[in-house]
Chain A
Amino acid sequence: MRDMAPVAVVPRKRRGVELALIIFALGLALGAYALVDLNVTGELSTAFPYVAGICSLVAALAHIAVRWRLPYADPVILPCVILLNGLGLVMIHRIDLINEPPLNGARQQLIWTALGVLMFILVVTWLNDHRPLQGFTYTIGLAGIVLLLLPLVPGLGTEKFGAQIWIQVGPYSFQPAEAAKVLLAIAFASYLVEKRDVLALAGYRVLGIDLPRARDLGPILVMWLISLAILVWQRDLGTSLLFFGLFVMMLYVSTERAGWAVLGTLLFAAGAYFGYLNFSHVRRRVGAWLDPFSDFDAYYQVIAAQFGMAWGGLLGTGLGLGRPGLTPLARSDFIAAAIGEELGMTGLMAVIMIYGLIVARGLRIALQCREPFGKLLATGLSFALALQVFTIIGGVTRLLPLTGLTTPFMSQGGSSLICNWIVAGLLLVISHQVRKPAATVTPINPDLEQTQLVKAGV
């Protein structure tokens, strides 16, 4: 009987594993950076020691913050994010070198990376627990929607590359959709946790599918209209898909009713078809997807990306030895094509697998989580990342029509990078809360008490 004494299962912290993986990721990224220099110019650039130093410092700070405040957090996500961020930096540096004199996009990106890690550290140390976020459902939701629609404000929003998804304040431009993604994932999670019972239980059953009551349709219709507004006025298919997909998925997960997913898919299909019929920018994207060679000049971007990846082939041309500069926007939307050209399809698939790892770890956290808000939030953040990767890399590789989303952690641009670091921070926070041992009171075992008393009585 004595052997049956309750043993609290304390998960291993695995911070050492994380550190080893981070060192591995840093080595890969910095090695790639050096390779770019060597292959393009034949010598290491003078900036390389600084780049290596800053990257290592930033990674170390992130790791220390996690070790200090989130000792039980998932050990895989942070190294994956560092590797992706590093590879993005390398590709941007490589594309910088095409220009004569070289651009300094990589330096800019390094600054954004540092800011992103700063935000990550803030989330890790200062927020530390995701549950308080539940208290600001409507504030956060409203902020998210306002941010999302901000580019439509005349004078504030600016059109870039055919999509009005940027806001310009003075010399600074900002893509608010990325921040809105995080805010809305939080807001959806806390809203749905509150309302899920009524959304799940009331309704009718038609053809084996539970349909919601008409008055409960409000939220999904509002999100649908917002998504359509993004599609119509911001001309951004990707953002529209991302937000609506995120919302429908979270609705489905929280209510456990497939009816919501079916309804959402139908609504999205209707919206997409409506867009295809009425908007030339949507038709052009679809045309470039189905048959890019029907109009070489109009679909040049998609064609150039295809050319690049075909040129890279299975193993790639080698870092610095391809010609990613021939693809427009190679450092932002088309960074996946640049990876595919220089690291080959093998390299691109490896990158996809790293995203897959992050998503898998995120969903694992959701499954392990014991309270609904954290569960829903982790699912939402992971799925949003999966959907974003699927949409942009699928677009670049011609699996889907191209949409103007950023490639998380890799594309050049501060808003996307910082927001995705916050996502990574949030996932780690949830995972720490999930895995840390509960501060339980050891139940009193009368037998043990007695034995102790005997001992004490000597």
Chain B
Amino acid sequence: MNKPIRRVAFVAMIMFALLLANGTYMIIFRQSTLDSQPQKRRVRDAEFAQNRGAILAGGRTEIAKTVSAKDRFKYQRVYPDDELYAAITGFYSYDRGSSALESTYNAQLSGTDDALFVRRLIDLATNKTPKGASVQTTIVPEIQEAAATALGDQKGAVVALDPKTGAVLAMVTSPSFDPNDIASHDIEAAGKAYDRLASNPQHPMSNRAAREIYPPGSTFKLVTAAAALADGKTPDSLVESPDRLKLPGTRVSLPNSSDCGGTEITMTQALKVSCNTAFANLGLEVGEDKLREQAQLFGFDRRHLADLKGVASQFPDKLDEAQLALSAIGQYDVAASPLQMAMVSAAIANDGVLMDPYIVSTVRAQDLQPIQTHKPDALSTAMTPENAKELQQMMSVVVSEGTGRNAQIPGVEVGGKTGTAQSDPKRKPFAWFTSFAPLDDPKIAVAVIVEDADIPRNDIGGGRLAAPIAKATMEAAL
């Protein structure tokens, strides 16, 4: 019987060899795909239990940090300022994902980024607990706080940029949420908090500053003015400003919401009083293509601030004359984010050069060595320096004598533009204000939107509500 027993032994050997080969195959080929499965609790738990790097504002202020916890996860994510920086940090949850910088910089914060590979090895060898890299934002806490205080409980957003670099100095959106609720280690409570926020009709988790677009209203007249200047107009060029402008090809006529000061006024005057008919005429004169080109030079139709998944502002296509006239004053289908309108002011303030907005300046490893640094980068030359300076002067008149007087700061020359917009006659209008200061050496450009503002539908109303918020924000930077 020895021959068949040898054969059986051979079969048994094959079976064991198959088990061993399969184990090898599993480690080599299946392990990485298995580990990257989102349902895998071990990976998720391990990531959640990491000593995640901090998110910093203004160099020292930790707007998101990790502290030791005495439960099974060892570390707890904490947002010391509750709601204040929620739109920037986002949240970091166990089973509801993460958002904003917590999401875009997850690899760096958790220390799994390839740039940290060598440091991970050193940590492993020296038996140190690995710690994620810290993310340094461009946010200035004083400006952020001033903007948030000024906006208060009103629904809206504030964005402040450094015109010379494109750095985001403040980004406030309201209503906001407390990311601590979603980061709680009481998984069930955290899930409930998330669901409550997600189903809240006020959308507290949406970033109104960079991820929502609104009709920009009269603030868009800055774009039209820039296009007209590029087209050969000067601030003193006269524009027809009838009380009512019959829209070409329709029976509708566009009224002015305020007295423009004559039926033929200078561009400076038109901007100062935010004259609808004058800018509608300018738009018709410049034409659709040049107006769109100017809007795109200011950053329309492109996504900005990828770190926060910013959305693109829109300038509509295939306009007829009436739609062009309405678009020129920021109505019809023109839609812009507050970030976009801050970029318009920033480009004008920076003598026509539009800087690429950014919010993360440096990512530093645990040993404080920078592993990633952002260098300011010009996005486009939106205007010639001469035209930009002329438009700066026109905007300064708006604040010193026109609709934007509420933004005046003693001793500082401020340039600004008000706006009131509505998407729907039944809805309350949006109050807008975009500005920069100081005129000669701009330090900050701001855009403010207040949604559902309980104001008259004219620009004085918009200026009254939004301009003080912009003023408070700018003051914090000067």
Binding site for B on A (CB under 8 A): 249, 252-254, 256, 293, 296, 303, 306-311, 313-314, 322-323, 326, 340, 345, 348-349, 352-353, 355-356, 359-360, 363, 366-367, 372, 375-376, 379, 382-383, 386-387, 389-390, 393-394, 397-399
Contacts and interface: CB of A to CB of B under 8 A. Distances in A.
A372 to B, nearest CB: 6
Given A307-B40, A326-B42, A394-B22, A359 B27 contact: no
Given A253-B1, A310-B30, 15 more contacts: A252-B8, A253-B4, A303-B39, A308-B42, A311-B40, A313-B27, A323-B45, A349-B23, A352-B19, A363-B9, A363-B12, A375-B5, A387-B15, A389-B19, A394-B22
A390 B30 CA distance: 20
Interface residues of B, number: 32
B263 interface: no
Contact of A379 (B5, B34, B35): B5
A256 B4 contact: yes
Contacts of B24: 345
Nearest to B14: A390
Contacts of A348: 23
B156 to A, nearest CB: 42
B199 interface: no
B30 A306 contact: yes
Contacts of B32: 310
B130 to A, nearest CB: 16
A313 B31 contact: yes
Interface string B30-52: 11101101011111010000000
Given A306-B30, A307-B34, A363 B8 contact: yes
A162 to B, nearest CB: 22
A254 B2 CA distance: 10
B23 A256 contact: no
Contacts of B27: 313-314, 345
A253 B18 contact: no
Contact of B35 (A256, A296, A310, A375): A310
A399 B17 CA distance: 12
B26 interface: yes
Contact of B26 (A249, A256, A310, A387): A310
A387 to B, nearest CB: 7
B70 interface: no
A311 B1 CA distance: 46
Contacts of A340: 23
Contacts of A307: 34, 37, 40-42
A398 B41 CA distance: 20
A190 to B, nearest CB: 14
Contacts of A382: 12
Contact of A399 (B22, B42, B45): B22
29 contacts: A252-B4, A253-B4, A256-B4, A293-B37, A296-B39, A307-B41, A308-B42, A310-B32, A311-B40, A314-B27, A323-B41, A323-B42, A323-B45, A326-B41, A345-B23, A345-B26, A353-B16, A363-B8, A363-B9, A363-B12, A367-B2, A375-B5, A382-B12, A383-B12, A389-B15, A394-B15, A394-B18, A397-B22, A397-B23
Would you list the 9 A-B pairs with minimal beta carbon distance, nearest first? A310-B34, A390-B15, A386-B12, A399-B22, A253-B4, A310-B31, A363-B9, A356-B16, A311-B42
B184 to A, nearest CB: 21
Interface in B396-447: none
Contacts of A355: 16
Nearest to B30: A310
Contacts of A323: 41-42, 45
Contacts of A372: 1
B20 interface: yes
Given A256-B3, A379-B8, A399-B22, A386 B16 contact: yes
A352 B1 contact: no
Given A253-B5, A363-B5, A375-B1, A397 B26 contact: yes
B196 interface: no
A433 B271 CA distance: 111
Nearest to A364: B9
